[in-house]
Amino acid sequence: MSELGKLEDLPKEYVESLTEKNLVPLWPSLRAALPHGIPARRTQPTLWKYKDIHPRLLEAGDLTPIEAAERRVLVCANPGLGLENMQATPSIYIGMQLIKKGETAPNHKHTPSAVRFVVEGTGGYTVVDGEKLPMEKGDLILTPAGLWHEHGTESEDNIIWLDALDLPTIFALEASYALEGPSQTIRNRPDKSQAEYIRSGLIPYKSLSKQRPAYPLLRFPWASVKGSLEALSTVTDRGEAVQLAYINPETGQECMPVLGFSAIMLRPGESLTLPHRSASAVLNIVEGKGQARIDGSELDWEDNDTLAIPTHAKAQIVNLSSSKPAFLFQIDDAPMQRKLGFYEEFS
């Protein structure tokens, strides 16, 4: 392989003449833009402990009224990517949001797509496109690009959830913006996970003769996800992933365009090697105690902790309990990578 020419090798006057005309020579930067074999990665394997986040989020609840925050969120920012850029991985934004008794986070819509994964508290809700979606521990709520959404709570409790957004990509495209609107009129009926899409394999018959809706199911209750993982675990060999993908029940495809969502069960004492692949990911621990080994970093996790896995990382997760299963929620950018045609798994 020949050595590429450096910027210093070029006459100063020549480089200046280029700069003046907004031109740049490629070859001094080619290897940085297209490294051989593996991408250049700044993302660090990172753990955000819930015991560090929780008290500071409550403090934010005292310091900043909801009216002054609009969304009261502490962002899990990867130190390798610059905290100010608010990226857990290059494509995944993660925040922890608090709503206190009696508060509402006002109605808005935006170009990034978001999901909410409930961490703590009962009685919360999000209204999406007129549908009131209950939020209980472990429930996944979708707020796709362009749909109105507002949050609130009807209990005495605080409610805390994890926000995952494709914001870094939409922002990089200079396409990120929001609109505010009046509070939505709520349709007085159960959400679709309780009526139209109760069981996998069954969809409303009328869907067959229509264009399939882009976002038919906006809520995935944890109780059914957990029960499904437990059932799957009975037919899955140890060391093989007990993992379920959240999909669009009308199309069988991933439920959001950029980010993908799945739930993982680790049986007592089980160790799972995650696929070595091109996607980055974030894990949130629903319950359990264990360790993640990511590219040589050892991170000890427990209930509600969150961790970042860089692209192309070698990662293993271990349930350190010998008696209890562990349950994890995964966010990754595989859907976008697949659509762009470069998703890879390495053996």
Residues that bind ligand GTQ (CB under 6 A): 71, 73, 95, 97, 105, 110, 114, 149, 163, 165
Residue whose structure tokens are 């969502």: 261
Of the two residues 97 and 280, which places its CB atom closer to ligand GTQ in the complex?
Answer: 97
Of the two residues 166 and 250, which places its CB atom closer to ligand GTQ in the complex?
Answer: 166
Positive or negative, the Cα torsion across 31, 279, 294, 297?
Answer: positive
**Min dist. Cβ of residue 114 to ligand GTQ (A):** 6
Positive or negative, the Cα torsion across 57, 61, 62, 68?
Answer: positive
**Min dist. Cβ of residue 86 to ligand GTQ (A):** 9
> Is the separation of the CB atoms in 114 and 152 below 8 Å?
no
Of the two residues 44 and 104, which places its CB atom closer to ligand GTQ in the complex?
Answer: 104
Positive or negative, the Cα torsion across 108, 111, 112, 113?
Answer: positive
Burial 14-30 (b: 16+ CB within 10 A, else e): ebeeeeeeeeeeeebee
3-state secondary structure of 12: helix
**Min dist. Cβ of residue 224 to ligand GTQ (A):** 24
**Min dist. Cβ of residue 34 to ligand GTQ (A):** 33
287: how many CB neighbours lie within 10 A of its CB? 16
Residue whose structure tokens are 């894990």: 283
Of the two residues 147 and 285, which places its CB atom closer to ligand GTQ in the complex?
Answer: 147
3-state secondary structure of 262: strand
Of the two residues 114 and 299, which places its CB atom closer to ligand GTQ in the complex?
Answer: 114
Of the two residues 149 and 226, which places its CB atom closer to ligand GTQ in the complex?
Answer: 149
**Min dist. Cβ of residue 328 to ligand GTQ (A):** 21
**Min dist. Cβ of residue 112 to ligand GTQ (A):** 7
